[in-house]
Structure 1
Amino acid sequence: MKTKQLWICSAIALASSAAHAQSSVTLFGVVDLGVQYTKGAGAGSVRALSNGGLSTSRIGFRGTEDLGGGLRAGFWLEGSLNPDSGTGRATNTNNQPTGATTAGGLTFDRMSYVSLSHDSWGEVRLGHDFIPTHYNSIYFDPFNANGVARAGNLTFAGVGTGPLPTAITGSNTVSYWLPGKLGGVYGMAMAGTGENDSSVANSDDGNFAGARLGYASGPFDIAAAVTRSQFSSTAAIGNYTHANIGGTWDAGFAKFFALYNRVTVKLAAGTVRKNTAEIGAHIPAGEVGRIRLSYAVLDDRSDSGLRTAGGLARSGDDARQLGAGYVHNLSKRTALYGTYARISNKGEARYVVSGGAAPASGRSSSGWEFGVRHLF
């Protein structure tokens, strides 16, 4: 009889615990593949199966546990995929060039964190996440930082034409996110570390901090962000600051986008400065279609002492990009899309459309892609 009573009491205790701490885990993802052709004037062309022309291919797991009193624990593990080759994407372990990995097995290069959140005081995350300025790059670019026409072809450029280690994501981070009930105000602050030994000369390399603050109400959404990363100055890298501001306005007949970026990198020989401005729109085309348009310009204002390989002032290495595309939704989960982009380079600039072949100095880069995206 005592044994039976013990089992009954244990069952009641477990049921009470489950009611108090409910949890859930979700598997989600995107598979996005297309046929792509890119050409670099004065160089060559590439025909390829492209990946992520509309949305980044990925697989992820997320979960929450209700701890009661408005408090929740959660986790998020999300990794990019290369479904054309069956591999995972590269990531960076310490926010420095030395921490770069190569594509291969699955890595949770997009998000990898554990969190505690509360309805009133917000959320704290620990792990790997997008940096504050990249959220603006995603939300205020008509191409959502994906495909041949992404604004990142210009805005991700640090010293050269590619991104620096902390331009998109950061490892070893702690971030705080404002709660969602602030009358349209939203924001977050983040700090990350390179985890270097304090006894080495470049012990601060890979350390960074940043913040994002925005306001969304009705058809308007606007946000500003800044991220500053520390690196010992060399010919290829140095203290890196990225600031941007962007916004959208949904006018009904079209949704308009604007994004302005300013990048500063303090090299040993001088300071690189790049300003990029983009405008664009989404225009409904029937009940299931959407036209996407964008125009971006990059103005290089680097120190006069910084020269190109040909001996010219690199401040003349400007560029402009035109992008146009169409998305046709077959369902809530599946869409067909097509995109075209062209970059016109000046001086000795060699900016290139995503996935493309690098052009000769000062020549154009162009490309198109047609693909299908499926969400699950």
Structure 2
Amino acid sequence: MKKTFYIAAAISGAAAVNAHAQGSVTLYGLIDASIQYTNNQGGGSTVAMSSGTTRGSRIGFLGTEDLGGGNHAIFRLENGFDVTDGSLGQGGLMFGRQAYVGLQNDRWGTLTFGRQYESMVDYVAHLTAADWSVYMEHPGDMDLTNRGVRVDNSVKFTKTYGAFTGSALYSFGGQAGSFGANSMWSVGGSYDDGPLYVGFGMTYARQPGARNTGTFWKASNSAIGEYVTVAHSFLTVGGGAAYKFGSLKLGGDITSTTYKDGFEQQNVNFMNYEINGVYYFTPALSAGLGVTYTDGKVDANDGDPRYIQYNATATYSLSKRTDLYAFATFQRAMGDAQVAQVTQFISPSSTNKQASVGLGLRHTF
């Protein structure tokens, strides 16, 4: 009888706490697997299975607790994994995609702390073909729009007012005796109202090569690897817009990326110009085409590395949660750029051309 009383009291107490806190935790995830053919990886063609071709495979927990007075405690823990072998993503981190905790006020905005995305991902990435597939990034993901960048040790403030959302982020470098060394900051925003979306972002990092693995791609892509490693600082600025005309959605973006002292103690700059469009034949069937032109300038030797990349995708929804997709991408390196590489997730070509095509299945829950 006494044991029953204690159990009942514990259940009643827990129910009372839950009723007062009005908290919730949402489990969500995405699984993406494909089979792809790439014509030239170091001189030979490959057929392989890949995870996260269009969206990184993940499982996450999103939590909120009502603190009263319009205040909420929030958190997100998001794990990335490779569906082909079950291994952890992001260098083996348990919650390598996102991990943050924060406070939200219905009037004043949201303040979060942890491992988070910066503004180029939050507001500009949606406008690029990398939103269709990681194989369609701007060369080397030089402007951070391929969602591969998460910023550790960061504080971010986000505020939404009507159709406008803006945010500012600062990441502490953590170097003793210097507040600014290895630090990083980012600002950006978007206007999202019906068929029109406009986004912009700016991100700056000191000593980008000294930051943690996974923040910047350092050596895998011939377009930018050598510059990231030695640069004194990094600045990328970009923006664009998209508009939906009935069944057709057209978009475009422009980004500028500078590696200060990136080569022989002089600057290296890249401009990306992209246009893309998606046509919805039915609510279940859509197809997209896009092209990106990249123009580089190396001040130390007047170098002119250039790239052009063509992207195509098609998606058929089997249900609200499950999609079949196909993609094709082709990159050509020009000028002083000698080697093509459509994405840092595969090996570079041995020539100035590389193409990849694939078929895949994506399921969300």
TM interval, shorter chain, is: 0.7 to 0.9
Partner of 2:156: 175
Letter in 2 for 1:191: Y
Shift in CA distance, 170/338, structure 1 to aligned 2, threshold 3 Å? same
Taking a change above 3 Å as real, the CA distance of residues 270 and 371 of structure 1, as seen in their structure-2 partners, is same
Unmatched segments (≥5 aa) in structure 1: 1-5, 91-102, 307-312
Secondary structure of residue in 1 paired with 2:134: coil
The within-5 A match list for 1:178-257 is 178-179=159-160, 182-198=161-177, 204-231=180-207, 236-257=230-251
Alpha carbons of structure 1 residues 79 and 189: separation in structure 2 relative to 1, 3 Å: same
Structure 1 residue 57, shift from structure 2 partner: 0.7
Partner of 2:151: helix, strand, or coil? strand
Moved more, 133-142 or 112-121: 133-142
Return the offset for 1:330: 0.2
Q: Which amino acid aligns with 1:71?
A: N
Shift of 1:133: 1.1
Cα distance change, pair 9–69 in 1 and its aligned pair in 2 (3 A): farther
1:9–1:39 CA distance, 2 compared to 1 (3 A):
closer
**Is the 1:130–1:170 Cα contact (8 Å) retained in structure 2?**
yes
The aligned counterpart of 1:375 is 364
Q: Which amino acid aligns with 1:50?
A: S
CA RMSD of aligned residues (A): 2.8
> 2: CA distance between counterparts of 1:136 and 1:7?
50
Give the partner amino acid of 2:334.
K
Aligned pair partner of 2:142 in 157, 160, 179: 157
In 1, Cα distance between equivalents of 2:356 and 2:8:
68
- Of residues 263, 275, 281 in structure 1, which corresponds to 2:257? 263
Identify the residue that residue 305 of structure 2 maps to in structure 1.
317
Instruction: Report whether the alignment pairs 1:282 with 2:278.
Output: yes
Contact 2:124 2:239 (C-alpha < 8 Å) held by counterparts: no
Is 1:185–1:214's contact at 8 Å kept on the other side of the alignment? yes
In structure 2, how many angstroms separate the alpha carbons of the residues matched to 1:357 and 1:14? 54
CA distance in 1, matches of 2:112, 2:293: 35
Superposition pairs of residues 106-125 of structure 1, within 5 angstroms: 106-125=93-112
- Please report how far the alpha carbon of residue 38 of structure 1 lies from its aligned counterpart in structure 2 after TM superposition: 1.0
1:20 is paired with a residue whose SS is helix
> Partners in 1 of 2:27 and 2:10 — Cα distance?
32
Whether the 8 Å contact between 1:207 and 1:229 is mirrored in structure 2 is: yes
After TM superposition, which residue ranges in structure 1, 4 or more long, deviate above 6 angstroms? 6-14, 232-235
Q: Report the Cα distance in structure 1 between the residues aligned to 2:45 and 2:95, rounded to whole angstroms.
A: 31
**Partners of 2:55 and 2:84 in 1: how far apart?**
14
**Which secondary structure does the structure 1 equivalent of 2:84 belong to?**
coil
Deviation at 1:261, TM superposition (A): 1.0
1-structure distance, mates of 2:9, 2:34: 58
- Per-residue deviation at 1:134? 1.7
1:94 maps to what in 2? none
Aligned residue for 2:175, secondary structure, equals coil
| Count of aligned pairs between the two proteins | 338
Give the aligned partner of residue 218 of structure 2: none
